Amino acid sequence: MKEIKTNLEPRLFTGVVTEISDMAVVIEINGRLGRLSLSRRMIISDEEIKLGDEVSFMLSYPEVISEKNGGIMI
């Protein structure tokens, strides 16, 4: 299989809070990139979060951990 080389630098993503429960928050990522569910304690805010709040976060693309390099991402 061909090895893929990518630059895994964190990028800024934005989204909107679409669901809030006692334990979790769901963010709809802008650009039709999907949804992100997080524990409520992972959200940094001076105010109580509300439905429709706009958020931003840094994220890199996931990389499958390969046994070829001992199960460690390089």
Provide the residue ranges of all domains of the chain, joining segments of one domain with +.
Answer: 11-62
Instruction: Please state, in angstroms and rounded to a whole number, the distance separating the CA atoms of residues 22 and 60.
Output: 27
Mean pLDDT on 10-28: 96
Residue 10's pLDDT is 92
61 vs 23, which has greater pLDDT?
23
Give the angle 74-61-26 at the CA atoms, nearest 5°: 135
Predicted confidence (pLDDT) at residue 73 exceeds the cutoff of 90 = no
- CATH number of the structural domain 11-62: 2.40.50.140
- pTM of the full structure: 0.76
For the stretch 20-50, pLDDT in tens is 999 999 999 999 999 999 999 999 999 999 9
